[in-house]
Structure 1
Amino acid sequence: MSGYTEPHWAASGLVVIDMQVDFAEGGMLPVAGTDAVTPNVRRLAEGFRRAGRPIVHIVRLYPPGSSDVDLPRRAAVEAGAVLGAPDTPGSAVIAGIAGPGGPLPVDAGVLLAGKPQVLGEHEIVLFKPRWGAFYRTELEQWLRERQVDTVVVAGCNLPNCPRATLFEASERDFRTVLVEDAVSQVSAERLADLAGIGVTLSSTGTVLAEVAGPPVTG
């Protein structure tokens, strides 16, 4: 591992991608494996919260009839498809990830205006209009303001949005970590792609131990 890619855990922030009701089992556009990794995503969020480290929940919102949509789904959304639509239960963050309790409703008015939905001093929700979480969002600025230099990624559907987000983070000189057991649709090919650009591949247990810091002795 290069000195330029090694994670700085004390300067890390968690970016949770697309963990929304519509992408889980029973949703309008379920992604296989998302339910299975949800407990680990919850554990990561709880651990970063306890450590006082920044957390950003990245979400998609598809207003029916909109054309500001990724190309593979544009025709369906333009025709009125309801998936991850504003002010629907499917757009909510899956229960227990953005804090205790049930699914967290997202504030579509705030998010579609490009602003963060603030959940706490170090925790927000941001809307992304395409695959990568840095595209047309305030993510980079928000992380820099909190002296984050290491982006830890977990969430839904590695081949698409988590992977794009890791490439964008690397392009911006962030150190990058993928939590393999907290992201759906993992494959050896995708992991090799990411390792090739300096992404650290890690596990929920390892990340939580690192973020918590060394045990107090004596």
Structure 2
Amino acid sequence: MRVDGGQAIVPNVIKAVEVARRRGILVIWVVREHDPLGRDVELFRQHLYSVGKAGPTSRGSVGAELVDGLVIKEEDYKVVKMRFSAFFATHLNSFLKTAGIDSLVVVGVQTPNCIRQTVFDAVALDYKYVTVIVDATASATPEIHLANIFDMKNVGVATPTLEEWCESDD
């Protein structure tokens, strides 16, 4: 789904993914895909799915595709979610723990929903380091974005810019 402010961060997301791959960091794509009839959609979004009309993030629809420039490569991993958090009702936590991964770097949209809930779940699940690249994440307005970044920073989440992260050893 389109999020105001989302298109502006695509170049930074692309760069973050490229840097992660060069560093040997596993890239995990978390995508939202729903049943075309909306049977697995949150109650507050069910009105977007009606008989004869697929909803905005229906499996196989344009709204469920990655935006131009973002490409899932064979060595990457894809997790399909149906709620805000990438951890809620998915196998992401067990996959990461089995792989020995204890640190996360998060990019994407939307800061007050998907980013925030995924990050707070990662903190609650005791991931050692959780990083949100501040200019490779976005929400509908800069004010909402910054308020949520502030909240995440207050629970110990690192919030570097893309340039700072690229220059670090993370």
Which interval holds the TM-score relative to the shorter structure? 0.7 to 0.9
Secondary structure of the corresponding residue to residue 37 of structure 1: helix
Question: Where do residues 67-106 of structure 1 align in structure 2 (5 Å cutoff)?
Answer: 67-79=39-51, 80-98=53-71
Matches of 1:74 and 1:199, distance apart in 2: 33
Matches of 1:74 and 1:51, distance apart in 2: 41
CA-to-partner distance for each residue in 1:139-168, whole Å, 9 max, x for gaps?
Answer: 112222332211111101101100000000
Residue matched to 2:97: 144
Contact preservation (8 Å) 2:108, 2:115: yes
Contact preservation (8 Å) 2:105, 2:132: yes
In structure 2, the gaps of 5 or more residues are none
Matched, 1:195 2:128: no
Q: Alpha carbon RMSD of aligned pairs, Å?
A: 1.8
Following superposition, the deviation at residue 189 of structure 1 comes to 1.8
In structure 1, the gaps of 5 or more residues are 1-22, 24-29, 100-118, 214-218
Residue matched to 1:129: 82
Contact preservation (8 Å) 1:67, 1:78: no
Q: Which amino acid aligns with 2:9?
A: V
Q: Give me the TM-score of the superposition, normalised by structure 1.
A: 0.69
Residue matched to 1:109: none
Question: Which range is displaced more, 175-184 or 81-90?
Answer: 81-90
Matches of 1:78 and 1:130, distance apart in 2: 19
Question: Where do residues 162-173 of structure 1 align in structure 2 (5 Å cutoff)?
Answer: 162-173=115-126
Contact preservation (8 Å) 2:38, 2:55: no
Contact preservation (8 Å) 2:48, 2:56: no
Paired-residue identity, %: 27
Pick from 149, 160, 183: which aligns with 2:137?
A: 183
Secondary structure of the corresponding residue to residue 202 of structure 1: coil
Contact preservation (8 Å) 2:32, 2:81: yes
Matches of 1:207 and 1:147, distance apart in 2: 22
Question: Where do residues 8-27 of structure 1 align in structure 2 (5 Å cutoff)?
Answer: 23=1
Following superposition, the deviation at residue 68 of structure 1 comes to 1.3
Residue matched to 1:205: 163
Residue matched to 2:14: 42
Matches of 2:57 and 2:11, distance apart in 1: 21
Call closer, same or farther: CA 1:97–1:210 in 2, change over 3 Å: farther
Q: Give me the TM-score of the superposition, normalised by structure 2.
A: 0.87
